[in-house]
Every structure is written in C-alpha cells, then in structure tokens.
C-alpha cells in the first residue's frame, strides 16, 4: 500500500489482514488531515491536532495487523513486482497506489523555489513561521513603506484551499493585528487573492461562490477574478494582462497533480499524473496493480475527466476495493456518492452545498466544524482541536502564535538521500 492518506488508510481498515500480509509505505510516519492545513498555517491549530502516527493507528482497531515502512516511493517495476524508496526495494504480490497529490505549477517548475505551498503539514508550518516572522519584523520597521512590503501577501488560486487560507489571513488582519500589534495599521496589510476563472470555488453552487466572495470582502481580502499569474520574479507578480503586483510572500494553491513516481511501463498514466484505471480501480494493462483516490483516473460517462480529487472519493474507493479483494471478485463497479461540498472562509462564515440545498453563514460554519471534527483520527485529536477552536472563538486568542526558528546546525541530509 503506497500512501496513508484518506484512500490508503481507509483501504487498510477494510482489508482482511488474515488474508493479506499488508505493508503501508509512506514518506511520513503519520497520517495528516489536509482540509485543516490552512489552520496550521494561520496558527489556529497545532500540527499534532491534525496528525496521527501510523504505528499507533496500525496496532489497534480495524487497521490492526498491517505494518509500516518509512520511505518515499521513487519507482515501480511492474515486471519484477517491486517498489523502490530512497531506503530499500520491496516486493509485492498486489500493489495499491494512493500516494495523493502534490503542487502543480503548470510547467513552471522554478516556482517551487519562490512560492509557499500548502500540501503538507511541513509546508503549512513553513507558512505559519513566515507569516509570524513578517508580523514581528514589520512591527520593528521604521517606515510605512517597509511595513507594507513585509505585509504584502498574494494567494494564487480561488479553490477551497485558496479561499480558506486567504480568509484566515484576513481574520488575522481584521482581528489579531489591532489586538496584538498596535503599532501596525490594517491598511499596511495587503491580502490579494488571484483566481484565473470568473468565480471562486468553481465546483460549488453559484450562491456559494457569491457568498464566499462577499465573506472575503468582509475580512478585508481583495479578490481579483479572471487574473492569471504568468511570472513571479524579484518579489513582483506579473499577471497575464501585463499588470504587476508587489508581494514578498506568494502562497500557491492553484493546482494539483499526482505524486511523481517513475514507472516501468508506458501508457499507464493519464492527465495530471494519475493512473488510468477501470471501474474496479485496476490499473489498465497491468496485472495486480490498483490505484485509488487522487492518483486514480477513472473515466466514466458521468465523469469524463475523472472523479474530483476529494476526500469522499478517496474514502469510497478505498473501502470498495478492500471489500472486493477480501471476496476475491470484482462484480460491483465503483459509483461515487456525492455527500456534498463545503468550504469555510472565517469564523461564522462558511458555505455548504448538499445537493440542491445551500447553507451559508453561521449554520454552515457549525456544520463544517462538526464534520471536520468527526473526521479527525483519535479522541485525543478531536478533544484537542475542539478546545483550541472553542478558546479561539470566545477569546480571539491562541497560544499557538509562537515563532520557532529551527536550529541551523548540525547540517545534514535526510538518511538515504544522495
């Protein structure tokens, strides 16, 4: 099993460990909860609140019986039935790939060196530290011009992740800066959200898109629709129409692609580095290999471009594949059951689409909190997150805005890297 995200972990929980010797391989030794990465980035939650060690999860409950090996899978050899990480080569009888996604820079790979991203707990912590560092340095800057440069933020991408991190920054601008940084002015903080299409959170209803736009305006975030970034150089964002924005901190949430893994056979990958699979999640043309979740490209009449890369798709595919492997037969085609979509912009500000039903504002925000709280692994994590949310809601304060610069020495590479 490659990857312990939503798809991989749910697959392991439903797989019969008496029939299968199950090995989970992941680049991290913990499961994380991506929908709340933005809360780590904005100091709303501690990293431990949304992460859960694999070794603890795999020794109890439905996941008991599986083993874990740390490593980032770099290549798969279908002929010899092996996968290779930076540490070792592991053989398999059946392989399930659920490595998830990474950032898509649409051909401009150099951007990874200059923009901040939000696809892992570590990346979220990096954003948190940079935002706090800029607030502290701005409070020491002698001129308004220097403060404006330090506090110039641009978010690229108006999907749920972009809207949520922009809203979190907006909350800091509106509520935290007046309380904790009295020598800074809100006017000195610039938060701009750029979206290349004509609407935010494209997959959601028109009413949700309009509400999200209105909520961001309420949080003092400037939204620019129909604006694509063509270049980012020397702290200048160049837009597709030729106009320019100054920003010392650009947060990229514009797109995702499957995790890059070198494979021994051609034509197994489709668009977005996703494995071409049939309606049973079998990789087309390869025996005993399956792909689920974000790395599965299943073309159907209803989803001609593949299923949306959402947690619910991953969970449902993982469960169905495990049950069919347990039975040893593949009679039922996968059929995605859409349970609705939601996004939060700030406190009391969220949007929820349940079929044709649209909910917004405080009721939607409560629903968002309830669903995400239930989805976290472990009672300790649930209680910890609930306490942090409750305390922050009534006090606007948090003990998590700690600026922790990691020690530089001793310098070392991670084990196994060349």
Per-residue pLDDT of the chain (418 residues; tens, 9 = 90+): 999 999 999 999 999 999 999 999 999 999 999 999 999 999 888 898 999 999 999 998 899 999 999 999 999 999 999 999 999 999 999 999 999 999 999 888 889 899 999 999 999 999 999 999 999 999 999 999 999 999 999 999 999 999 999 999 999 999 899 999 999 999 999 999 999 999 999 889 999 999 999 999 999 999 999 999 989 999 999 998 889 999 999 999 998 899 999 999 988 999 989 999 999 999 999 999 999 999 999 999 999 999 999 999 999 999 999 999 999 999 999 999 998 899 999 989 999 999 889 999 999 999 999 999 988 888 888 898 888 888 877 776 655 678 877 777 777 666 555 5
Compute the distance between CA of residue 210 and CA of residue 38 in angstroms, rounded to an integer.
Answer: 21
Q: Measure Cα distances from 217 to 36, 72, 213, 251, 255 in Å.
A: 22, 41, 6, 19, 23
Question: Over the range 166-178, which residues count as b (16 or more CB within 10 Å of their CB) and which as e?
Answer: bbbbbbbbbebbe
pTM, whole model, 2 decimals?
A: 0.91
Tokens of 377: 């692994």
Q: Token match 């898109």: residue?
A: 209
The separation between CA 296 and the C-alpha centre of its own chain, rounded to angstroms, equals 17
Nearest Cα to Cα of residue 302 among 274, 333, 270, 336: 336
* Cβ atoms of 372 and 311 closer than 8 Å: no
Q: Which residues make Cβ contacts (< 8 Å) with residue 138, sequence separation at least 6?
A: 146, 147, 150, 151, 181, 184, 188
CATH architecture of 109-251+340-395: 3-Layer(bba) Sandwich (3.50)
CATH 3.50.50.100 in the chain, residues?
109-251+340-395
Question: Angle, to 10 degrees, between the axis of helix 311-327 and the axis of helix 6-14?
Answer: 30
CATH 3.50.50.60 in the chain, residues?
6-27+71-104+256-327
* Cβ atoms of 7 and 315 closer than 8 Å: yes
What is the CATH T-level fold of the domain 6-27+71-104+256-327, as seen in this structure?
FAD/NAD(P)-binding domain (3.50.50)
The number of residues making up the chain comes to 418
pLDDT of residue 391: 80
* Cβ atoms of 168 and 191 closer than 8 Å: no
């Amino acid at each position: 099993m490659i990857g312990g995200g939503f798809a991989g972990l749910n697959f392991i929980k439903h797989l019969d460990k008496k029939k299968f010797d199950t090995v989970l391989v992941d680049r991290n030794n913990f499961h994380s909860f991506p929908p709340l990465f933005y809360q780590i980035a904005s100091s709303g939650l501690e990293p431990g609140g949304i992460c859960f060690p694999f070794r603890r999860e795999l020794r109890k409950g439905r996941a008991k019986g599986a083993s874990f090996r740390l490593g980032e899978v770099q290549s798969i050899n279908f002929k010899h039935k092996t996968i290779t990480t930076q540490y070792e080569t592991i053989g398999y009888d059946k392989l399930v790939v659920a490595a998830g996604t990474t950032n898509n820079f649409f051909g401009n790979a150099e951007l990874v060196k200059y923009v901040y991203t939000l696809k892992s707990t570590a990346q979220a912590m990096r954003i948190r530290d940079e935002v706090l560092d800029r607030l502290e340095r701005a409070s020491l800057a002698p001129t308004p011009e220097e403060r404006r440069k330090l506090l110039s933020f641009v978010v690229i991408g108006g999907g749920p992740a972009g809207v949520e991190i922009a809203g979190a920054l907006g909350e800091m601008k509106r509520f935290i800066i007046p309380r904790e940084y009295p020598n800074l002015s809100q006017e000195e903080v610039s938060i701009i959200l750029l979206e290349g299409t004509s609407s935010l959170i494209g997959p959601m209803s028109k009413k949700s898109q309009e509400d999200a736009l209105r909520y961001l305006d309420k949080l003092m975030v400037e939204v620019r629709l129909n604006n694509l970034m063509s270049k980012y150089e020397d702290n200048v964002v160049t837009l597709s129409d030729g106009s320019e924005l100054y920003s010392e901190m650009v947060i990229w949430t514009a797109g995702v692609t499957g995790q890059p893994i070198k494979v021994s056979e051609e034509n197994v990958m489709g668009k977005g580095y996703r494995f071409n699979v049939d309606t049973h999640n079998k990789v087309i043309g390869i025996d005993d290999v399956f792909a689920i979740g974000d790395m599965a490209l299943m073309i159907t009449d209803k989803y001609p471009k593949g299923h949306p890369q959402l947690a619910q798709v991953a969970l449902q595919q993982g469960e169905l594949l495990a049950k069919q492997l347990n039975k040893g037969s593949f009679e039922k085609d996968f059929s995605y059951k859409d349970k609705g979509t939601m996004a939060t912009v700030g406190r009391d500000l969220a949007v929820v689409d349940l079929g044709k039903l649209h909910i917004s504002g405080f009721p939607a925000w409560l629903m968002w909190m309830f669903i995400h709280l239930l989805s976290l692994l472990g009672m300790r994590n649930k209680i910890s997150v609930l306490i942090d949310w409750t305390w922050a809601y009534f006090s606007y304060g948090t003990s998590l805005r700690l600026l922790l610069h990691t020690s530089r020495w001793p310098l070392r590479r991670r084990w196994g890297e060349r």
